[in-house]
Every structure is written in C-alpha cells, then in structure tokens.
Structure 1
Amino acid sequence: MSRSAHPAGPSHGHPLATIEPATPPDLTVLNPRVWSANVTRQAGELAVAGVPATRLAAEHGTPLFVLDTDDLRLRARAYATAFEGGDVYYAGKAFLCTAVAGLIADEGLGIDVCTAGELAIALRAGVDPDRLALHGNNKSVAELRLALEAGVGRIVLDSHLEIDRLAALAAELGARPRVLVRTTVGVEAHTHAFIATAHEDQKFGFSLATGQAEAAVTRVLGHPQLRLVGLHSHIGSQIFDTGGFEVAAHRVVSLLARIRDTHGVELPEIDLGGGQGIAYVDGDDPQPAADVAARLRQIVERECGLAGLAVPRLSVEPGRAIIGPSMLTLYEVGTVKPIELDGGLVRNYVSVDGGMSDNIRTALYDADYTVVLANRLSSAAPQLSRVVGKHCESGDIVVRDCWLPADLAPGDLLAVAATGAYCYAMASNYNRIPRPPVVAVAGARSQVIVRRETLEQLMANDVGWDPVSHRADSAVPVGG
C-alpha cells in the first residue's frame, strides 16, 4: 500500500501514545491565517461576523457549517484581481450550492464542474455557461450532451474514447466546443500521495512521457467538430510553493512548441490547475493570491520566451484556497472520556454530535485541523485531547491531536476551522445520519443556504418491498 494507515482507515490504537506532546498553545488565541477574517471572540465567545456561536447553535442546531460570506468574497476577489487578463476557475467539487455559485460568479470567477449535478447547480444559480469548465475522467454521454446543450465554455478531455465520444455528439448537435487536453506532466507535488495527481500511475490525463498527450492532440485536431484551444495540467493539492509549477510549465510549454512545429498551430491557452494550500494549523504558510499569480506569470513568460511562443492566456484552479478558510463547523460536545496512555499521559476523547459523515478528510488523508472551545473562555489547564465523532467506526476522528481546556463538558460548543472545502461536499449519511445545514453569515445576520436533512428525507428513497411477490412459492425457478 502507498500509505501506512490500516486498510480500513487510519491506524487503530494510540499511534502517538509514546510521543511527548508539544507545549500547549494559548487556547484563547485565534490565528488569522487559520480562521476566516470575521471570526472573533466577543466576551470570550466565538462569533462569526458578529453572530455568537451560541446563537448560531440555538437557531440552527449542530453540527452546523457556518460560512463567512464576506471572507469568501474577499478571497474570490483577490484571485480575480491577481489573475486579471486570465481565468480563475472555482472548484465546484470543494463545495457547491446555488448561493455560493452565484457569489463566486458575482466576483468574476468561473467554475469548474465535473458532474451533471455540479453543472446543474451552476446553471440553476444563473452562472454564464461560457464561464464553466467541465472536468472528469469518465464523463458520461448524458453529461457531455448536457454540457454541449448548455454551451459550457471549456471541456477538458481526458481519454481517447472521450475525444471520439464528444466529437460524435458535437456533430449530432451542430456544436463546436472549445476543448483542452489534460496532460500528465510527471510532477508529483509535495503533498499527500492520494491528492498528488500529476505522476504517471493515476487515472487523470494523457502522459507526456509516453507520447500519449501528443497523440491526443493529433486526435483532437483530426476532429473538425472540436476546437482545440489549449492544454491543461494539474500537479496536486494543498501546495505551498511554486516549484512544481515551474517544472510543469516547462513541460507544458515544450508540448505547445512541438504542436506548433508539427501541426502549425499555436494554442492560445494553458491551464496550470492549482491546488493552492490553506492554513489548517499554525505551522501552515499559504501564499497570497497576488504572489502566486506573479510567480506563475513569470514562469510561463520565461518558458514561452525560450520556446519562441506567444504567451498564452493563463487559467488557474485554486481549489480549496477560495472556500476552505471561509467556513467553520460547530459541534456540541456529548461526552468526555479520559484515556490513560503510555508513560502516564492522559488524553481526553471528546465526542461530538457529528464526525466522519460531515468531515471524512481526517479518516481519508490524516488531515490536521484547528479546534477551539467556542461558547466560552476557560481558565482551566490545556488537556491533550482527540475530537471524535459519534459513528460506530474507530477511524471516526475529527481532530486527531489537539489541546482543549481540561474542564470541557457536555453541552459545550467546539468550532473546527477551515472546513469549507471537501467536508460538506464529501458528506455522507453513514449510520443514517442526516447531513448538516450550511448557514451564511454577514452583517450580524445568519441565513440558511443549505437546509439540514431530515429523517423523512433519508427515508424518501427507501421504497420497501412487496413480500407477496417475493414468497418462495411465487418465485420463478432458476432456468425456468
């Protein structure tokens, strides 16, 4: 296996039981890199845009995703400004609902979608289809048809079968979509193996090293129904430096030069993907959008100058960097269980009313998060803790290692920072738990933008069965 975790999830037991824990931080401090811009403490209580955590919990219940909408606007605007003259695509897969899609479009960003569901949400929100890009390694005929009929601005091609499939649909519908060929550039970002997407042995794109990318370009150019406008690459996620992009840009631009020399075509666009990192914990150091843009432009301009190419229009996909820091999750503490570890250490297992059904990233990626007591300040000593969910699964961990006040008690509220990306989007109904709501907060007011699921909704698709038609004496014999 490529990771050290147990096949059923992260390591069971107490993997850090024999490790002396670090010095506890000041539990009253809110790191502005980790928390959204409008998260503060008011009389000791956590507040989002002036709305106290206790009021949010009382009005909307817990678990609860809370979106700082002004913070989201600022982050979207920062990327739109930094990449002016190019295109910025918000990652629909990070989190998408009609309210967020509309807000993102208002700030001048496009949206990348990868399923009919994400496309439908963007269209329902009134997003201009020309500002949408359709991704995915296995787009169905129905999804491609929907994209063509809607007039999606870019379709990123991912296989030879898809090239032919899209060409046939375009001919049938009388369309000529703009397409990009996704290239696998052989750069493995310094990130978790499961979210590094440009090395050769993975499902996305056409390999540069084996000549598949050039063959794909030739195939697309052979279909007059398709309008090839550029190349796409993506080297991973949660990236804090631009070193990988330098290598990727060099290889993508080299392919642009070969396409010019072979086919006499200079493609006008490149999309370098993105995956810019965010601060989940104190040690994370994300780059400002302006710095990322300046460096990427410098890299592309230098490589194109060396290759004798005109500088193409640059597109990026910042991923979690836009929505991730703008949201937090509120939980209510249900139980606190002290567990004695090796060496005399004690860890409090703090169980909350959510878990891996609303944030599976800790179980999947060993992700780190910052958590604080949200409903009050405490003068109690910091206690080594682990925040866990309510699911019947030993890997159901929200925050693996953290410090919380030793007097934490049932009914207290905890806030987990930076849960805007890939938390609600990957939520499930494991153990038949309804998914939480999402509340947008601005100007000291909160508004539900995604309702809490109900038990009735969970049962809506459970149609049961007719026992009469399944009686043994009414069944058709095998081979009958």
Structure 2
Amino acid sequence: MTHMHVAGTIHADAVSAAPVWLSKPDDVNDLADGLWSAGVRRDSDGMMSIGGLRVDDLVARTGTPVYVIDKADFTDRARLWRDAFGPWQVYYAGKSLLTLDVVRWIRDEGLNVDVASEGELAVALLAGMPPERIALHGNNKSVSELRLALTAGVGRIIIDSADEITRLEKLCRELGTRAEVMIRVTTGVEAHTHEYIATAHEDQKFGFSIAGGQALVGMVRCFHSRVLDLVGIHSHIGSQIFDTNGFEIAARRTLRLISQFREATGVELPELVLGGGFGIAYTRADTPEPVTDLAAGLKEIVEHECRGFNLSVPLVAVEPGRAISGPPGTALYTVGTVKPVELGGGQSRRYVSVDGGMSDNIRPALYAAEYSAALANRESAAEPVLSRVVGVHCEGGDILVRDDFLPDDVQPGDLIAVPASGAYSRMMASNYNMTPRPPVVAVEDGNVQVLLRRETLDDLLGLDQGVREGNLHDTR
C-alpha cells in the first residue's frame, strides 16, 4: 500500500519532464493562434499590447496581478454565438465572469443571462438586464433568492429538486404570483472532463434523474401545480467539452423524456435547454470546434432526434460562459523570483514565482486545469526552457501554469501573461493568506475601463470586528 499526503500527486509528477502534449516552440516569443484574444499583439520592440494598449503602460496604471478583458473580442464572441445559434436562444453563463458592465455588454448584444445565486441575480437586475431574459439556477436556492426572482419577474426558474418545488409553490401563493419553470434533469452522460465539472452523471448533486424516474415525476407535479407553469426541461452535461457526442446523447434522452411527458399529459413541452460547457483553448493542444460548426451540428442533432420521436422542434437554448468570456481575458503578473530545480536524469524545470497565485486562480489547484504563459514585456533570444509559473501562497500546490516553455533569461521584474484567463479565474478568487483580490479591467482602442477595482488591505481588515475603528493598520 502506498501512503501519500494531500500534495502527493503534485510531488509525484515533479520528477517527470514536459507532458506529451507540450512541445518545445521554435520561437519562444510566438503568440500561438487560438490562445490569445483577438486584440493581443507584439509591438516592434517585443512589448505585448492588448486592445491597442501596451502592457507596460497598462501595468503602470493598474499594477499586477490584473485581469485584462479585450472588450472588442468579448462582444464579437457574444455576437458570433448569437448569430450562429439563431433562432435558438443564447443565455450567457454569468458565473464565468459577471460585473455590471459585462451584463450590459451581453444585454446590448441581444443575449440573455443565466445566474446561479442571489448575488449574481442582483448584479444582473442592477445592470438593467430585463428580468424576462434572466434564468435562475441553483441546487439549493434560498427563500430570499427565490423571493427576489419572483418579485423581479425572472423569466425562468430552473428547478433542481422536489424540495424546491414545495418551496417555490409556497412563495408563489404567499406573493400571489406564478412562476415559469423548467426541470433540470441528469441525463447520465459522462462528459470527458474532470469529475468536479462533469454534471450529468447520476452520482452528483444536480437535477432530477431521468433513469431513476424522478424527472418525469417532477415534471408531472409541476404540470399539475396551480402556481407553476412548466415550459420545458434543462440539461447540462459538464464543462470544457470539445465535441458534440455528449450533446447528441443528452438531446436524445431529454427529447425522449419530452415524448414520455406528452404520453402522460397530452402536452408537448415547448422549450429545451442543452446547457453550456463548450470548451476553449488553454494550451496549444486544445482544439475547440468553431462556433458555426458547433451550432450547425447541434441543430442537426436536435432536428434528427425530434423526427425520431415525432416531436415538433422546441425552442432550444444554449448557455455558453467561458466560450465568450474566457479567450478575451489575459492575466498579467510580475516575476519576483526565478529558481532552477533539477529533476534528475539530466532534466530540470524553471520555477518562476509571480505576485499572484491560487487566490486569484484556483482552477489549476482545484482540478488540474492547464494554462499557458508568455513573457509579455519584451522579446527574448534565449533558449526556451521548461518552466512552471507558481504563486506566492504557502502551499506546494500553488501553481498557475503547470508546464510551458519560457525564455531562459526570465528575471525578476519581467511581466508574465497568461491567456484564456477571462472565465472563472477572478470569479473563483479568494482572500487566502489575506491576499486582496486583483482588479478586472477592460481595454478597447487603447482606453482602460475598470470593471472591478483592486481590493485593499483596508477592505479585508474592515470585515474584522476586532479592528478598532479608524485604526485599521494599528497593530499595537
């Protein structure tokens, strides 16, 4: 029997060289196509620019770490999803990146938004998103967030459990209102992704099981409710998915369920949500399908399955999040220390420590998410060396970029850029080690717009009731 501590797998892998998918680049200064936002360039002196603004000028204004959103790329992607999937509905998954201005961009491009908490719902409403274009998710919605959704007139509430049906009916009667609802179902599809972001297999917390019969029972219960209007079913099979195979199975099983519901009630439900989970390129090995091809493939699947079950084609919706917000985002960090580590067998790895870490991007530590990195403030003629970009936190697993090649002459003070950082990074950030969270800024035509300001120590200490008023930094 092998015994290892919690960080054992990290240390066990430390003796290996580059992973098989990572190859040494011919030019370490190259910004690989598909990894970076459309507005990322290298100027003639090697300095990276984003949205027409040089990163040295940007960092002089914002400091590091900082999340930079290429606004034009973001809105272009939103528009591409809207047009490729029309006349289907597109709901932007707010959990990937949500601020007041992001909601306004989405709203103005004609997309809807789905939210997964009372806080996200409050942001969407405050930003001016019409409530009928909002869908509310959550496996354990509180009474207060359901009340807010009902009083605001949210267009869709996605019901996740029998307990929630009871809770929602009680609130509707109390408020003298009705709610349009969908039932979230688990289709039994095992998406090829990390366990923590696979959401349609049976043994997990989301939704009503189709195989176990819970889904049909929940649907019939909502159908007979005096205060709930059942309009359809909702499915989500996972995240970071690169092909349509899983969606084909999910569509078949959900449409079969709609057919069974028709047999039980005589009513054909008009709406179906296939969820999100569409993958993006985090490394050169990732090959996401073009949005237009993805849309055409999903439409063909739905139409084929509807013919098989003799159903009318429902109003279908998809919920892209990272596919819109991820690629436009770049994280910028400043190098603090550089440390070569010998791995044995003539192999070595360069550890590049930067001024961020797992507090601003937990994804690599949480489920081994892979990212890429590049030297941002200059070009280099030095040899590419296998590198690992790590953070400042007191954890061996504090890794931002597990494996990539950086120039051999990376040194303290250099800027490191991490592409595809717009989705989930800042939204999942924490204050571990009492670290203030970084800002999010949008850049367009050389102009900077602050979406979320940088947190300060005063922000953090202001929550501590042991601090004497007016003396936040008084340690006596």
**Common fold: TM-score over 0.5:** yes
Contact 2:18/2:403 (CA < 8 Å) preserved in 1?
no
In the TM superposition, 1:77-476 aligns within 5 A as: 77-464=79-466
1:229-259 residue CA offsets vs partner (Å, 9 max, x unmatched): 0000011110000001111111101010111
Contact 2:18/2:386 (CA < 8 Å) preserved in 1?
no
Contact 1:6/1:12 (CA < 8 Å) preserved in 2?
no
Aligned-residue offset at 1:120: 0.5
Contact 1:148/1:175 (CA < 8 Å) preserved in 2?
yes
Aligned-residue offset at 1:11: 2.2
1:34 equivalenced with 2:32 (yes/no): no
DSSP 3-state at the match of 2:450: strand
Amino acid at match of 2:163: L
Q: Whole-Å Cα distance in 2 between the matches of residues 283 and 464 of structure 1?
A: 50
Task: Tell me which residue corresponds to 2:24.
Answer: 24
1:61-120 residue CA offsets vs partner (Å, 9 max, x unmatched): 000000000000011001111121221111111110001111011111111101110001
Q: Whole-Å Cα distance in 2 between the matches of residues 169 and 5 of structure 1?
A: 51
Aligned-residue offset at 1:8: 3.7
**RMSD after superposition:** 1.6
TM-score by length of 1: 0.94
DSSP 3-state at the match of 1:424: coil
Amino acid at match of 2:39: N
Q: 1:7 to 1:179 in 2, by over 3 A?
A: farther
Q: 1:197 to 1:441 in 2, by over 3 A?
A: same
Q: Whole-Å Cα distance in 2 between the matches of residues 170 and 247 of structure 1?
A: 35
Contact 2:14/2:343 (CA < 8 Å) preserved in 1?
no
Aligned-residue offset at 1:5: 12
Amino acid at match of 2:42: R
Q: 1:117 to 1:331 in 2, by over 3 A?
A: same
Amino acid at match of 1:427: A
Q: 1:196 to 1:9 in 2, by over 3 A?
A: farther
1:312-347 residue CA offsets vs partner (Å, 9 max, x unmatched): 000001121110101010000000011111112221
1:176-224 residue CA offsets vs partner (Å, 9 max, x unmatched): 1110000100001111121110000000000011100011111111212
1:410-451 residue CA offsets vs partner (Å, 9 max, x unmatched): 000000000111100000000001000111000111121110
Contact 1:18/1:343 (CA < 8 Å) preserved in 2?
no
Amino acid at match of 2:15: A
Amino acid at match of 2:329: M
Q: Whole-Å Cα distance in 1 between the matches of residues 196 and 126 of structure 2?
A: 32
166-175 or 112-121, larger mean C-alpha shift: 166-175
Contact 1:249/1:300 (CA < 8 Å) preserved in 2?
yes
Q: Whole-Å Cα distance in 2 between the matches of residues 235 and 20 of structure 1?
A: 31
1:343-386 residue CA offsets vs partner (Å, 9 max, x unmatched): 12221111000000000110011111110000000101111111
DSSP 3-state at the match of 2:353: strand
Amino acid at match of 2:43: Q
Q: Whole-Å Cα distance in 2 between the matches of residues 173 and 15 of structure 1?
A: 57
Aligned-residue offset at 1:283: 1.3
Contact 1:229/1:268 (CA < 8 Å) preserved in 2?
yes
Aligned-residue offset at 1:12: 3.3
Q: Whole-Å Cα distance in 1 between the matches of residues 30 and 432 of structure 2?
A: 34
1:371-408 residue CA offsets vs partner (Å, 9 max, x unmatched): 00000001011111110000001100000111111111
Q: Whole-Å Cα distance in 1 between the matches of residues 122 and 257 of structure 2?
A: 34
DSSP 3-state at the match of 2:216: helix
DSSP 3-state at the match of 2:406: strand
> Which runs of no fewer than 5 residues in structure 2 stay unpaired?
469-476
Aligned-residue offset at 1:274: 1.7
DSSP 3-state at the match of 2:374: strand
Amino acid at match of 1:135: H
Task: Tell me which residue corresponds to 1:472.
Answer: none
Q: 1:143 to 1:445 in 2, by over 3 A?
A: same
Q: Whole-Å Cα distance in 1 between the matches of residues 6 and 429 of structure 2?
A: 18
1:244-284 residue CA offsets vs partner (Å, 9 max, x unmatched): 11111111010101111110111000000021000001111
1:12 to 10, 13, 20: 10
Contact 1:83/1:293 (CA < 8 Å) preserved in 2?
yes
1:148-167 residue CA offsets vs partner (Å, 9 max, x unmatched): 01111000000001011111
DSSP 3-state at the match of 2:427: helix
Q: Whole-Å Cα distance in 2 between the matches of residues 220 and 262 of structure 1?
A: 13
Task: Tell me which residue corresponds to 2:471.
Answer: none
Aligned-residue offset at 1:172: 1.5
> Which runs of no fewer than 5 residues in structure 1 stay unpaired?
467-480
TM-score by length of 2: 0.95
Q: 1:140 to 1:29 in 2, by over 3 A?
A: same
Q: 1:432 to 1:126 in 2, by over 3 A?
A: same
Aligned-residue offset at 1:296: 1.1
Aligned-residue offset at 1:18: 3.6
How many residues get paired?
463
Contact 2:189/2:200 (CA < 8 Å) preserved in 1?
yes
50-59 or 21-30, larger mean C-alpha shift: 21-30
Identical aligned residues as a percent: 56
Contact 2:158/2:181 (CA < 8 Å) preserved in 1?
yes
DSSP 3-state at the match of 1:426: coil
Contact 1:86/1:315 (CA < 8 Å) preserved in 2?
yes
Q: 1:449 to 1:183 in 2, by over 3 A?
A: same
178-187 or 339-348, larger mean C-alpha shift: 339-348
Aligned-residue offset at 1:32: 2.5
Aligned-residue offset at 1:6: 7.0
1:3-46 residue CA offsets vs partner (Å, 9 max, x unmatched): x9977457232514244665411212112211010001012111
